[in-house]
Every structure is written in C-alpha cells, then in structure tokens.
A and B are shown apart, each in its own frame.
Chain A
C-alpha cells in the first residue's frame, strides 16, 4: 500500500507541513510501509474489546478553583519570535 500524491498533500495540509514535491515519493513509500506493517491488526477480532486510552483505567482528578498563577508575561515573551505591546505577532489573519 502506498499513498498517492493527493493523499500526501492532504495530510501535509492538515499537519501544516510543507513538503517538497521531490520528497513526496519517498514519503509515500515509507508511510505505505508502515501502513502495511500495521495491517496485521485488521485480522484480530476486537468487536467486544473496549478501547483503552490510558494504561490504568484511572479517573480524572479535580483541581480546586483557586488562582495559582502570577503574571509572567515578560519572562515568557522573552523567548517569543515577535511581540509588540504584550501581544504575540503573526502575519495578518483574514477572517
């Protein structure tokens, strides 16, 4: 199994990763190899098996509604690519 150019472009689009045309063939092959490898799962009857999302079937713990954070804007924005007036800047977003 290998994915066609279209499928690869769709995945790349969803993942917001630009992919050079020259890389598509190899990528398609490698992803296809993995899909072939995982295909063995399809032979297993799992109709009565409950999906397991977490190893311990544990339950969510709750946090008290109390403010524990302080303003660290300067500290956090010191590592930001681009800011102004306390805002993170990105190329113009058009709705």
Chain B
C-alpha cells in the first residue's frame, strides 16, 4: 500500500528579551542553577505576574511576518498540570484568544519548488524550568532559571507531507525569527524546540490517521530522523495489523527510535481557564502600525531582490538569505567587490566551507565582508588569478595581513602581465620543448586548442601561477601561429 505522511509542528521559540515574560529576572543562558529564579518564578505564595512589553511586541512582529491577524484583545489562560519544573502547578499560556491568528509560512524545497504551510495560530507562554536527571542520591534536581522565559508557540496546520518538508518549515521559522531579531535561534541552547504530530494514512484517504506526538526535538537533523523513524514505525505497525496509539513519544537519538513517554501515560485534563491575575491584553492599532515600520526585509523578499538586483540564481539567492547575517555579509562583500555573482560564489563556496571547517558562525568570520570584497576586486581587475585568490583568502583567514592587497604585495603574488617578461618566458618554454612545437604546427585547428593548454601550463608553472593567462595566450598564438 502507498502511504501518505501527515505532519503538524508545534514550534517553541524562546524570545530574546532581557527579562522573563512575567517577572524582572534575567534570562541570560547558562547561569548557576536557580540564581535567576525570583520570587515570582519560584511561585512563592502571594506573588503575581506582570506582562513584559517586549515579549508582546516580539510576538506581534512574528505575526506580522507571517501575514497573520493580530488579536487585538488576547487573553492569558492557565493550563493546569503538576510537574516539578512547573512551579505554579499551571503554565500561563494562551488558549482561546492567542496573540497571533492564522498565517502562512512559505517553504522552499530542494527541487526548487515552494509550498505554503498554514499556521493555525501562535501564542505567548512561559517556559518551564529544567529537570536534571543526573543522580542526586537517587533524586532529580530542579533548576528554575529557565522558568518564565518568554516563548511563542507556533502551531502549524497538518500541512506537511514529509520529513524534508518539516525540516524546511522549521528552517524557515528559524530564519524568520532570527531576521526579526525576536530570538537568538540558538538550537544548542534550546531557543528553538519542536513537537511533531505525526500520522500516516493510505494515499487518497480523506480522514487523518491516529497521530503520535514526538516531544521536544531540538535540532534540524533530529527532526528529520525522528519523523522518518516514527513514520516507519507507524507504517510497520499498521501493516502488521496493529493500531497507532494516540500518545506522547520521545525521540532517542542514540538508538534512533521513538518510545512512549512514561510520565505522560495518563490522559490529562488541563482545565484551561482565563488567568485571573492577568487582564486581557488590549493592543492599539497604532502599536501594530508602529511595529510594522520597524519590520526588516524578510527572507522571501530579500531572496527575490537578490535574484533581481544582483542577477543571482534562485539557488544562490536562497542559500544567501537563510540567515540574515549571511545576507548582510554578502551584500557588503558584493558592494566592496563590484561583482555580485563572484561575491555570491565566494560566500557560498570558499567562505562557507571555511566557516564549516572551523565550526564558526558568520558573525565570527576571521575574514570580513570588506576584506573579501577587496580580494574579489583583485580577481575582477586581473591582478590575481582565481587560484592565487584562494591562497590570499587562506592568508586572510589566518590573519597574515589586513587586506588582500597587503597580502598580495608582501607575498609578491601579483599577476605578471608584462609582455616583455612573459615573451621571454614563452621563448624559454618553446625552446625547451621543440618536439611539442613541431607537433603543434602540424596539427589541425581542433587539436591545436588542446595542445595550447600544455604550453600555458608550463608557463604558469614557470611563473609560479602569477602569469596572466590572457596575455600568455596572446603571445603564444603570435609566436606559434607565425
């Protein structure tokens, strides 16, 4: 039987506010346990929440970015359940009136096509603390530093049809929130986490199959693998005559399998109701309008502009716009270089490979955009060849000079275009290879072209790569053709 995969994602994005959503404690990552847990965060008796203005604004920005309706009177609700990392015994979240209404996220797939994925809504809520399961004399340790960190939870419709689409969607959310600067998007610190609702159904069947929810996946790679392995499990289960259970599962990346969560076995009844400690969040249209004016150019718009203004391929433009910082780097490098296509090749090629190799982000690149632009300029004006340029790039990367020009000078890498000097070199090479010269002269036009490469190669070798290939060709043609 042919199966269709149906996936919906709930993506939790930590907002990069200075303080928590309902208290004035710092949200800085990595502090010693419980040193950023205030009276409110600890749910000491009598404490009360007050909403962080920036958390609200950042959520609205996200809504504007996905072209969603902003709820002008959203409401915070209490979601009741007991867990040691949830100090109040309820999570303050939004149920019936979330801040962001339905919207659209467009994803790009590797075959160059794109699809619109519907976002059901996005709501503001507080993060929970962390349970540390390392053994504390047979006990679990609770760190509440993270408790109360503002989150937006972005809930998609079940529109995704493959693990690949799910990853593309997650990457797109990542790129939108980092463009907007509403999250640091650091997956390794849990700034972006997702739950995947996965089901399968026979192709052509209208109703959905029973779904399992895979909780708390925190990397792009694991999302893909977790969904794939869960899909496989469900198909095998059904084909063996079994039934998928509606349950919460965890992805174990070491074993590459999902397993049912023990602590979530019982059916929960969260008893949502409006939080009486918080009032309806009424937004003025003027706030929304003002936020609109602060919206940066978003990935899709930037990609289009890169294609049109710089004449880049859609592939190059897509690569360059996944991260705002990369796009900015590219634009600065292209400006300095005066050749956007070459700049795109360098950013997507040499630079990106070097960053990957040294495990660096663009923000920490040892070669700045203006340095790279300066280097490309020298290729454009024929001062150096592409091959030499790679040497110069490595030297810049290793901090051997402040600019491409400085390195070219100090290492004497400037391309030789002087006809006199090159003419002498040509003569030397021709004199050293009389047989090849003979063969060349006897060959037809087609073969000659190939043989010319031999001479060029010899001269380049003699010049240590610094000879200008255009000039050599010209001289060779003159001397051999004569």
Q: Do chains A and B interact in one complex? A: yes
Seen from chain A, the residues whose Cβ lies within 8 Å of a Cβ on chain B are 13-14, 16, 53-54, 58-69, 71-73, 76-77, 82, 84-95
- Contact residue among B39, B82, B144 (Cβ-Cβ distance under 8 Å from A88): B144
Interface centre among B36, B44, B141 (most CB of A within 10 A): B141
B137: chain A residues at CB < 8 Å are: 84
Q: Are B131 and A93 in contact (CB under 8 A)?
A: yes
B279: chain A residues at CB < 8 Å are: 54, 58-61
CB distance from A3 to the nearest CB of B (A): 15
Q: Does B219 belong to the interface (CB within 8 Å)?
A: no
Known: A16-B82, A87-B33, A89-B136. A62 touches B56 (CB 8 A): yes
CB distance from B126 to the nearest CB of A (A): 14
A94: chain B residues at CB < 8 Å are: 262-263
Q: A66-B19, A76-B37 are in contact. List 19 more A-B contacts (CB 8 A).
A: A16-B82, A58-B279, A59-B282, A60-B278, A60-B279, A62-B56, A65-B18, A66-B24, A68-B19, A69-B19, A72-B39, A86-B33, A87-B143, A89-B139, A90-B84, A91-B138, A91-B139, A92-B138, A95-B261
Known: A87-B132, A90-B84. A53 touches B276 (CB 8 A): yes
Q: Does B255 belong to the interface (CB within 8 Å)?
A: no
B84: chain A residues at CB < 8 Å are: 88, 90, 93
Known: A85-B33, A89-B139. A60 touches B144 (CB 8 A): no
* Leading 6 A-B pairs by shortest Cβ distance: A68-B24, A87-B141, A65-B54, A62-B53, A69-B38, A86-B33
Give B218-258 interface residues, CB cut-off 8 Å to A. Answer: 250
Give B358-384 interface residues, CB cut-off 8 Å to A. Answer: none
A61: chain B residues at CB < 8 Å are: 50-51, 279
Interface centre among A13, A16, A76, A82 (most CB of B within 10 A): A76
Closest to A89 in B: B139
Q: Does B271 belong to the interface (CB within 8 Å)?
A: yes
Q: Are A60 and B26 in contact (CB under 8 A)?
A: no
* Docked CA distance A73–B84 (Å): 17
- Contact residue among B18, B37, B55, B263 (Cβ-Cβ distance under 8 Å from A66): B18
Closest to B76 in A: A60
Q: Are B53 and A63 in contact (CB under 8 A)?
A: yes
Interface centre among A13, A62, A66, A82 (most CB of B within 10 A): A62
Closest to A67 in B: B26
CB distance from A5 to the nearest CB of B (A): 18
Q: Are B53 and A64 in contact (CB under 8 A)?
A: yes
* Docked CA distance A33–B25 (Å): 45
Q: Are A63 and B24 in contact (CB under 8 A)?
A: yes
A-B pair number, CB within 8 angstroms: 127
Q: Does B269 belong to the interface (CB within 8 Å)?
A: yes
A16: chain B residues at CB < 8 Å are: 82
Q: Does B450 belong to the interface (CB within 8 Å)?
A: no
* Prevailing SS type, chain A contact patch: loop
Q: Are A93 and B136 in contact (CB under 8 A)?
A: no
Q: Does B410 belong to the interface (CB within 8 Å)?
A: no
CB distance from A33 to the nearest CB of B (A): 22
- Contact residue among A53, A69, A84, A85 (Cβ-Cβ distance under 8 Å from B23): A69
- Contact residue among B140, B141, B261, B281 (Cβ-Cβ distance under 8 Å from A85): B141
Q: Are A95 and B282 in contact (CB under 8 A)?
A: no
Q: Are A14 and B269 in contact (CB under 8 A)?
A: yes
- Contact residue among A14, A69, A87 (Cβ-Cβ distance under 8 Å from B34): A87
CB distance from B35 to the nearest CB of A (A): 4
B281: chain A residues at CB < 8 Å are: 59-60
**0 or 1 for each of B255-279: is its CB under 8 Å from A? (1 = yes):** 0000001110010010100101011
Q: Does B387 belong to the interface (CB within 8 Å)?
A: no
Q: Does B32 belong to the interface (CB within 8 Å)?
A: yes
List, sorted by A's number, 25 A–B pairs whose CB atoms are closer than 8 Å: A54-B276, A59-B280, A60-B281, A62-B56, A67-B25, A69-B19, A69-B26, A69-B36, A72-B38, A72-B39, A73-B34, A76-B37, A76-B44, A77-B34, A84-B139, A86-B143, A87-B34, A87-B142, A88-B142, A89-B139, A89-B141, A91-B138, A91-B140, A92-B139, A93-B84
